[in-house]
Amino acid sequence: MMLDNLFDRLDELTIEYIKNEPMSRRTTFKIGGNADVLVKIKSNEQLKQVLSLAKSFDIPYFVLGKGSNLLVSDNGIEGIVISLDGLDDIKINGNSILCGAGTSLRALCIAAQKASLSGLEFAYGIPGTVGGALYMNAGAYGGEMSQVVVSATAIDKDGNEVILSLPDMQLGYRISVFKNSGLIITGATFELKEGDANEIKAAMDDFFARRRDKQPLEYPSAGSTFKRPEGYFAGALIEQNNLKGVSVGGAEVSEKHAGFVINKGGATCRDVLSLIAKVQQVVKSADGVDLEPEVIFVGRK
């Protein structure tokens, strides 16, 4: 890879970057080796410039949100990791909220509540960005992004700006058009309903309290480890097979919620992958159900 040439060009363009950034600092699992370079994007124009450089120098890239649904290889990530945290503007226009892909869901929910706009309460406490939430069609407690988003802006691998309507996004259970299209989400528009700010805050606080009570938020994790199998609940299947507390190295099936694999301390990517495989094998053998990971694995093999 022509990383030295890349660094020279990034310096010329005054685009901020960090060499050999530990991905354990950038994921909620607190796991992962170094990225060759992490680039901090602050505008769509900078994103286009970085994509052009990656293409010119034949360097692979990966787009990062808050790292809340990622398991990064112990060997790190080859090439460029693009952080969109700088795309975090929020604009309110009537019942609509326009925001950048790097906006945290927490900030978006608080902005909506302060504007007395209802519909995003379910997302309060989900530890991700707007871009990541659309990518996965994140949801909880009966709500999901497809119910509130009306359009999105994106940039394709050639640097072209694209506007997508709700049908264009093809949002389903933990799936979207963004997963395999190469489109990089840069922003989104949400259409909400007028409500009472105090009632909205009460609902947000209730959802957050439920998460705190039922989920192992005191430990690093990537959220729900497995997708919900049709006709079942992953956590219930894992619990009924007496897998709570089972561990491999520093990775453990949470005693609090069997649907979570947590980092009890010093867990490696290999530990987590081994534990996931063990859980899958036991559930498949006992119940004939294939558990599909919701967590996304990235990085060098």
Residues belonging to the active site: 174, 224, 294
What is the DSSP code (8-state) at residue 291?
P
- Strands of the sheet with 261-263, listed across from one edge: 247-248, 251-253, 261-263
Q: Which two tokens stand for residue 205?
A: 């606080």
The label of the residue with tokens 């310096």 reads: 11
Neighbours of 3 (CB within 10 A): 14
239, 133, 276, 71: CA torsion to nearest 10: -140
Burial letters 148-177, b for 16+ CB under 10 A, else e:
bbebbbbbeeebeeeebebeebebeebebb
Chain-centroid distance, C-alpha 231: 25
Chain-centroid distance, C-alpha 235: 20
- DSSP letters spanning 241-270: TT-TT-EETTEEE-SS-TT-EEE-SS--HH
Contacts of 249 (CB under 8 A, 6+ apart): 266, 267, 268, 270, 271, 274
